Structure 1
Amino acid sequence: MNFFEFIFQDWHVNKGNAKGRIILLFFRMANFCSTRKIYYYLGFIYLLFYKILVEWFFSTEIPWNVKIGKNLSLFHGQALVISNQVVIGHNCTLRQSTTIGNKQLANGGYSSSPVIGNYVDIGSNVCIIGPVTINDQVLIGSGAIVVKDVPPHSTVTGNPGVARPRKDINPDTL
C-alpha cells in the first residue's frame, strides 16, 4: 500500500463527515510516521503537531501508534479516548464519548488493553476496559460497560454489558 492509499484508507466510509475525515487523515499520517523508523525521526515535528491538534483541539485521543484496521468510521469524534495498546479490526465504527483502554490493577500496574474484531459498531458513551476481546460483527449499545469477552455476532447492552445473539445476522449463512 503506497502512502496515499494508506492515509486515505478511511476516506470513503466517512463520506459527509468532515471532522471524522480530518481526524483520521491526521491519524493515518502520524501512524505512518510512527511505524517507520526513518519517518519517526523526520516526522517528529508532525507527531507533535498531531498531538496538539487532534488531542487538544479536537478532544480525541487516538495515539499515533495504535493498531487500527482499514475503513474506520468515526462519528463526532468528541471525547474519544483510546489506549495505545488497543487493537481495532477492519470496518469498525466508533462514536463520541467512548473509552477503550486498560484498567489499573490492585498492585498498581495496568492490565492489557482490549482487542476489537472486524465489523464492530460501538455506540456513544461506551467503556471497554481491561484485557477483553470483542469478536467480529458485534454491536455495542450506547452506555454499555464492557469488561468481559464478547462472542461473535452479539449485541451488548447495559452496565455491566450483557451479550445477546444478534437477531439481524444468521451466523450459519456467513
Structure 2
Amino acid sequence: MNIISSLFQDQKKNKGNLKGRIILFMFRFAQLTNRHILIAILLCIYLGFYHVFVEWFLCVELPRKTKAGKGLVIYHGQALVINQGVVFGEDCILRNSTTIGHKILKDGTFSGCPVIGNRVDIGANVCIIGNVKIGNDVKIGAGTVVVKDIPDNCVVVGNPARIILNL
C-alpha cells in the first residue's frame, strides 16, 4: 500500500463522521513516523501537534505505534483510551468511553496488550484489558469487561464478559 492510500484507508468507512475522519487521518499520518527515524525527526513538530490536538482537544488517546488494519471506525470519539501495544484487525469499530490495554500484574509488571481480530464491533464503555485475543466477527456489548479470550463469531456482554450468542 502506498503512502497516500494508507492515509485515506479509513475514510470510506467513516463516511458522515467528520470527527472520526479527522482523528484517523491524523493517526495514519503520525504512523508514517514509524517507518524510519529520519521521518520521525522531520515530523517531530507534527507529532507534538497530533498529541495535543487529538488527545487533549478531541479526548482520544490513540498512540501512533498502535497497529490497526484498514477500515478502522471511531464513532462518538470521546474518552477513548488505546494502549500503543494493541493490535486491531481490519474493519473494527470503536465507540466512546472505551479502554483497551495492558493490566498490571501482581509482581508490578505489565501484561501484554489485546489482539483484536477482523470485523470486531466494540460498544460504548467497554474495557478490554490484558493479554487477550478477540476473534473475528465478534460483537462486544456496551459496558462489557473483557479479561479472557473471546472466540470467533459471537456476541459477548457483561462483567465479566460472557458469550450470549454464537453467530
TM-score range, shorter chain: over 0.9
Report deviation, 1:26: 0.4
**Over aligned residues, Cα RMSD in angstroms?**
0.9
Give the match for residue 86 of structure 1: 86
The aligned amino acid for 1:88 is F
**Distance in 2, Cα, partners of 1:64 & 1:7:** 13
For residues 91-144 of structure 1, the C-alpha deviation after alignment (integer angstroms, 9 at most, x for no partner) is 100000000000011111110000000000000000000010001000000000
Dislocated runs of 4+, deviation >6 Å = none
Letter in 2 for 1:45: I
Asked if 1:75 corresponds to 2:72, the answer is no
Query: Which residue number in structure 2 is paired with residue 111 of structure 1?
Result: 111
Aligned position for 1:96: 96
Aligned to 2:61: 61
CA distance in 1 between partners of 2:149 and 2:118 (Å): 15
The CA deviation at 1:37 is 2.3
Counterpart Cα distance in 1 of 2:136 and 2:37 = 32
Verify the 8 A CA contact 1:94 1:123 in the aligned structure 2. yes
Which residue identity is paired with 1:15? Answer: K
Name the residue aligned to 2:5. 5
* TM-score computed with the length of structure 2 as normaliser: 0.97
Partner amino acid, structure 1, of 2:106: A
2:129 equivalent in structure 1: 129
Distance 1:164 1:136 in 2: 16
Which residue of the partner structure matches residue 34 of structure 2? Answer: 34
Kindly state the Cα deviation for residue 2 of structure 1 after the two structures are TM-superposed: 1.8
Amino acid at match of 1:21: R
State the Cα distance separating 1:4 from its structure 2 match.
Answer: 1.4
Identity of aligned residues (%): 51
Q: Which amino acid aligns with 1:27?
A: F
CA offsets 1:15-57 (integer angstroms, 9 cap, x no match): 0000000000000000112333221111111111100000010
| AA partner of residue 2 (structure 1) | N
CA contact (8 A) 1:35 1:65 kept: no
Equivalent-residue separation in structure 2 for 1:53 and 1:35 (angstroms): 22
Counterpart position of 1:159: 159
Distance, in Å, in 2 between the alignment partners of 1:103 and 1:25 is: 29
CA displacement 1:48-87 (0-9 Å, x = unmatched): 1100000010010000111000000110110000001000
Instruction: Give 1:164 deviation, angstroms.
Output: 3.5
Unaligned residue ranges in structure 2 (runs of 5+) = none
| 1:12 counterpart letter in structure 2 | K
Question: Equivalents in 1 of 2:38, 2:151: separation in Å?
Answer: 40
